[in-house]
Structure 1
Amino acid sequence: MKHSTVHKGSLPQPRGLQACPGLRRGTSVRLPEIPDPFAVEPHPDWLEITRACNEWTVHRLCRGDTALATDLIGAGTGPYVCESIPKGLPERLLDLCKLSVWWFGLDDEFTRIRWDLSTGERERTTRLHARVEEIWALATGARKDDDLWPGDVVREIFHTMIGRVAPSRASWLIDVLGSWQQRGAKLDLDQTAHRDDSIEAFIPNRAVDSACPTFARLIEYTLGIEVTEHERTAEPVRRFLVTIYELWFLLNDLFSFRAECFADQHDSTICFLRRVYGISLQEAVDWTASRMIAAQQQSVEILDEISRSDLGTSDDLMLLLRTYQHTASGTYHQSLSAQRYHGRGFRWNGARSGTIVLHPDLTEFPPPPKAQRLYPATSQERYDALS
């Protein structure tokens, strides 16, 4: 394996956009050790919530299409949401689980359109924007019997969530739900073309592409709290959000790139680094891990700063920001465990570092250290409990 020459977050000068080198069957790469400082026990109702979401996915959202349902359930949404928001209101956790499952399916649709290189960029852009508008119309009342997604089920998600909040919060929640649609419309295939010319330009766009701002506000809904605009836009809170969004999507990108790269879908940070900086796969993985560890520490330092300021007197704000840290841990566990990223039938064995082997249909993890003390109830154990 090639020795990494990228250390402590340093990168060579960008060389401009190049084709991604891709992956060969049996490619190996070493996963560095990544701390998990924000892990907590999940919501106590996680099993019931996950089972209810899976039943809904199979019988209502997918209307008995077991292949589609298996792929969506393979994202591990129930355990992920319940680990991320351990103090969420149970009925709202189920709402967010359902919404997230559907959005995973939509992301797959949009990604296929964006990376259909058999058509020109203008045609892909037109198709993408048209599909985004169709989905929003479906969610807000349009009738379309032949759509992949049943309109009555989609509308029910939106109506249920809006009905749970006070009338004064309804417009806020509608704006939050609409922000995801706007995110899709504004992509303009930028990530496909990788027009960003440096990692620092790429990172904020990747945060939006990964729907981090939308999910952050949906966590506020799920907790049943209300953070003021003054608190949300305060300078240290804004710095905290930039850091936590980066941590969320980097954790995901580190483990999702195998499936995406073998499918010639090169949105992830790993592919961007290889395309723009010309570094090796191992160097891209090492840089990403180093950046994540730095973001973990930065989030701790900024949250400590916030807690010692007047902002720290807001119980709702502090609960929300700590929950964002828990979401980083939930993202880590989901990304390690999900069949969506590691292949249908994949069972995570508890290993978090060491050499992994990448195949078109599977990530092969190394045996875990015998002395390793796993998180009290791993995501894999939670998935096993559902079977």
Structure 2
Amino acid sequence: MQSAKLSAALRPEECSYRLPEMTLILPVTVHPMLPQVQYDLPCWVRSYITDVAGMDLEEWLNTGFELWTCHAYPHAREDRLLRMTRYAVAVTVADDETTRKNAPFGGSSAYAKAAVRVWEDMLHGRQATPAEAPAWWQLMGDAWNDLCQDMSDGLRERFLADQCRILRRSVTEVEIREQGNELELEDYMDLRRDTIYGAVCWHLAEYGLGIDLTEEFSRHPDELGAVWQDANDHLIVVNDLFSFRKEWFVEQDTSLNASSILRRNKGLTVQQLVNRYADRAAELERSYVQKCVEITTTSWGNTPRMHAYLREIGHIMAATLHFSRFTSRYHAVGFLWNGITDATVTMLPERTLISPNHRTRPNYRTPYLYRSPFTSADGS
């Protein structure tokens, strides 16, 4: 007999929890073009749209997506970083428009299916953006066209295939919400490994470094696929760890997040979920590094471009965790992270509060000081 489902509802006493210090090993750094990107990106976005899924554009821009790109791709070519940032922001706009129930795509699977068919034609260059389409469609189409103007054929083909698969899987998310279905954890993880947009992140790393690993992915899909899975799972876990407030108070969505699934199926408290996610994030970092070591000790993996690619994916993982600590996307407009990494977090409908756990001076250890696991003993 199937056991009764437990409630995923948030209890008042669970609005505060201990965020533990995580034993992280992946480094955070930043691209030197950050000031230029911070100037360019808001101006570019404002030239296309005035809101994102009903949210005021200025509030949306306050989330700091340009910071994420510069932390995630610190070694990207300077002539490509702006285009990468624009495309990363364009797919984030798409993600918000396709997941929020108050938006046309997020609220109707029929609309979503028709939209994806048009988008696939747009991305493949088979048609222009329809004149009657929402303004953000043009933003996404232009960002893609700019990005791929000097992209190698092999990378562009793989990038397109994964981007279109993500869009189709986004339709699946809409259908699940529309039908009120509840996924098991493994089914949820399988879906989110696509819709977390990890493949876009990893392809952008290749593009930013000016390399094309099509041959390596063709010859060694299992080894590189295992790297991708650790990296994708890290993005999912970090999102689930820091998005509690957004999920419960802003989106009020209990259908498509691991926290709700684990609360319904296992009765986990918020503190138990936080501990689980924090431990898993640290575990995934070490698993990722170990897989990188195994790859770079092979004849095909011990190359400068493979070393650079794997190092950059590590930066993306670290940047996403760092970004999740401070972004108003999770913690409300105007939120300023105080640098504390071992804290008591209080979730309120209007904002997040972070207070130190220490009775004495709080630990202000900054992620910028983490030493890269890919760095040799002499620092080279």
Given the two structures, how large is their TM-score scaled by the length of structure 1? 0.81
Any residues of structure 2 matched to 1:1-387 within 5 Å, and which?
A: 15=3, 18-22=6-10, 24=12, 27-62=15-50, 68-113=56-101, 124-133=108-117, 135-136=119-120, 140-145=127-132, 147-149=134-136, 151=138, 153-166=139-152, 169-187=155-173, 189-190=175-176, 193=180, 195-197=182-184, 199-231=185-217, 233-262=220-249, 263-266=251-254, 267-367=256-356, 369-376=361-368
Percentage of identical aligned residues: 21
78 and 286 in structure 1: CA distance in 2 versus 1, 3 angstrom threshold: same
Unaligned runs of 5+ in 1: 1-13, 379-387
CA deviation profile, 1:209-239 (whole Å, cap 9, x unmatched) = 2121232222222222111344464433222
17 and 207 in structure 1: CA distance in 2 versus 1, 3 angstrom threshold: farther
| SS of corresponding position for 2:188 | helix
| SS of corresponding position for 1:311 | coil
Asked if the contact 2:71–2:315 (Cα under 8 Å) also holds between the matched residues in 1, the reply is yes
237 and 150 in structure 1: CA distance in 2 versus 1, 3 angstrom threshold: closer
Match of 1:6 in 2: none
142 and 55 in structure 1: CA distance in 2 versus 1, 3 angstrom threshold: closer
Asked if the contact 1:84–1:327 (Cα under 8 Å) also holds between the matched residues in 2, the reply is yes
CA deviation profile, 1:252-278 (whole Å, cap 9, x unmatched) = 221112112113113332222112222
**Matched letter for residue 273 of structure 1:** L
Asked if the contact 2:77–2:208 (Cα under 8 Å) also holds between the matched residues in 1, the reply is yes
CA deviation profile, 1:32-52 (whole Å, cap 9, x unmatched) = 211332224211111211221
Asked if the contact 1:231–1:237 (Cα under 8 Å) also holds between the matched residues in 2, the reply is yes
- Equivalenced residue count is 358
CA deviation after TM superposition for structure 1 residue 374, in Å:
2.0
CA deviation after TM superposition for structure 1 residue 174, in Å:
3.3
Asked if the contact 2:48–2:136 (Cα under 8 Å) also holds between the matched residues in 1, the reply is no
Asked if the contact 1:337–1:348 (Cα under 8 Å) also holds between the matched residues in 2, the reply is yes
CA deviation after TM superposition for structure 1 residue 107, in Å:
2.0
Unaligned runs of 5+ in 2: 371-380
Equivalents in 2 of 1:259, 1:46: separation in Å? 27
Equivalents in 1 of 2:3, 2:252: separation in Å? 21
**Matched letter for residue 336 of structure 1:** R
Equivalents in 2 of 1:145, 1:318: separation in Å? 45
Bigger shift: 315-324 or 368-377? 368-377
Task: Kindly report the root-mean-square deviation, in angstroms, between the aligned alpha carbons of the 2 structures.
Answer: 3.2
| SS of corresponding position for 2:17 | strand
CA deviation profile, 1:123-155 (whole Å, cap 9, x unmatched) = 83223323434555666513234624262x433
CA deviation after TM superposition for structure 1 residue 345, in Å:
0.7
Equivalents in 2 of 1:64, 1:113: separation in Å? 13
Bigger shift: 161-170 or 352-361? 161-170
CA deviation profile, 1:63-86 (whole Å, cap 9, x unmatched) = 999963223323321111111111
